[in-house]
Structure 1
Amino acid sequence: MKSAQALQKELLTLHRLLQAHYTQIESHKSGVNLVAALFSSNVRRQSLQTVANARREIEYTIQQIQDVQEDQIAALFLECWEEELANLPSSVFLSTIE
């Protein structure tokens, strides 16, 4: 599993790519690029598919980040719990039921 820092970096890269695709779609809509305008419906469809794929990647990366953070919190909780149990007197565990 990747570290939270590596996933954050990957998320930032994906967001940048998504913004680049949005810019590309806007340029196709404006008709600035004449060659792209000739094939605009195909280009737009491809661009929209690329954006949809990028969004899925972003959602997946965000889920990975959340999973890593949950694992870190769970590990910290267990560590604290073990420390608390270690500090309890052993007589607590030796009590008898009448």
Structure 2
Amino acid sequence: MFSFDKVQLTLDRTNWKWGKRNINILMLAIVYRGIAIPIVWTLLNKRGNSDTKERIALIQRFISIFGKDRIVNVFADREFIGEKWFTWLIENDINFCIRVKKTSL
């Protein structure tokens, strides 16, 4: 059904309100035929954006389960920027495509 020898990943975060409780989920998904299939995720014990440590931990969890050699690239939106984050991806030879604001260049 699925062929996941090599995968493109997408990193995303969503925040839901359940009554008075905020549910903030950082997830890594496999891109398959135009849809994203969540594969690993973590609940953030805070509101707002993730930080570099949380992103790295999520990717490392994927790598520990599936191996780094399966990753073709990681897509992410402009929320997922930062010098330390980009440096970690480069140092770990992980290709990435991350949208940035024009003012960030």
Q: TM-score, length-normalised on structure 2?
A: 0.20
Higher helix fraction (1 or 2): 1
Larger proportion of strand: 2
TM-score normalized with structure 1 length:
0.21
